[in-house]
Amino acid sequence: MKYDARMRAALLVLIAMSLEAAAAPPTGYACAPGATNKGVGCTCPAKHREKRDAENIAVCAAAPTATALQQLLALLNKSDLVAATELARKYDFDEKGQQEAAKIFVKWLAPLREPVALQASRGQCSAVNKTLAVVGQWRALFLTMIGTHADKRYKEYKDDVMDAFIDKLDELLEPMTSNLASCIATASKDDGTAQIKAAYDANKEPIKKCFDGLPETKGPLTTKIVVDADGAIADIKFFAIWTDLDVKLINQRLEMVRLDEIGQRETCFRKAIETWKFKPNARGFAATITVAK
């Protein structure tokens, strides 16, 4: 298989997790210059095609131009992923555009392997998280570039998609996620209940506001918080069962609404905790605590 074909296929793997969502109704509409087709997507004018962006919002994307591609690549070379993703919403970039973007992605990612491994070995899990957050921005870019057309293009590559992903990107991405997992596991070995509970007791109000209006959970609402060697929040795992809300929304087949409703609250919760700072520790610590609504 040629390099470009492998890279194109590898990019499609990055959007595999979104294919199921793409088959569901959009979470929003930005159809101009087309018209909204509620529950379906957009009805787009000539020289435009309907697609979904990384947030499953339906848009009318124009056919790509050489100028638009040059603008996209210039933004990526400057690492302006926010502006690049916004531009990708406006155009239905073809495989050539995806390939060119992929080359810049790999060029950016390749030299980070060793620094990330070193950060993880020092217990600097939050520093590794920052790099992976940027990887997430790249993923959002590719999700937006390919959009709902992915399910059709997927058929063209079939089994080659996974093979290409393993050959091209797994060797770069897997070490980073493994390094982070190892870093978090090391920090989790030390009990930090006293420090984390004290931080929670001092910051209850911002957390309570995140769950205003939601029904009571079935059982306790708990969170596992991991602090790295720098005293920064390295990982937050949130545990809650919203029984009444789940039943109501699942019965109405409003799974995307459920995810949006609870997801927004959990994002609020995580942001409130991510601001906490602790004294640096040799390798970090962790604790699971109960959170009051």
DSSP conformation letters of 97-117 = HHHHHHHHHHHHHGGGHHHHH
Q: What single DSSP character describes residue 46?
A: T
- What is the chain's mean pLDDT, rounded? 80
pLDDT band at 61 (very low <50, low <70, confident <90, very high): very high
Min mean pLDDT across 51-55, 116-120, 131-135 is at 51-55
Specify the pLDDT at position 215: 62
Min mean pLDDT across 99-108, 200-209, 214-223, 250-259 is at 250-259
Q: CA-CA distance, 98 to 143, in Å (whole number)? A: 11
Taking only Cα atoms into account, the Rg of the chain, rounded to an integer number of angstroms, comes to 21
Specify the pLDDT at position 253: 47
Specify the pLDDT at position 265: 80
pLDDT for residue 196 is more than 90 = yes
For 111, counting Cβ atoms within 10 Å of its Cβ (0-12 exposed, 13-18 middle, 19+ buried), the class is exposed
pLDDT band at 2 (very low <50, low <70, confident <90, very high): very low
DSSP helix/strand/coil, 266: helix
Whether the CB-CB separation of 273 and 236 falls below 8 Å is answered with: yes
Average pLDDT over residues 253-273: 71
**pTM exceeds cut of 0.85:** no
The C-alpha torsion from 130 through 11 and 261 to 20, rounded to 10°, is -150
Residue 71 corresponds to which amino acid? Answer: Q
Rounded (5°) CA angle 214-219-222: 80
Query: Tens of pLDDT along 215-246?
Result: 666 667 889 999 999 999 999 998 876 555 55
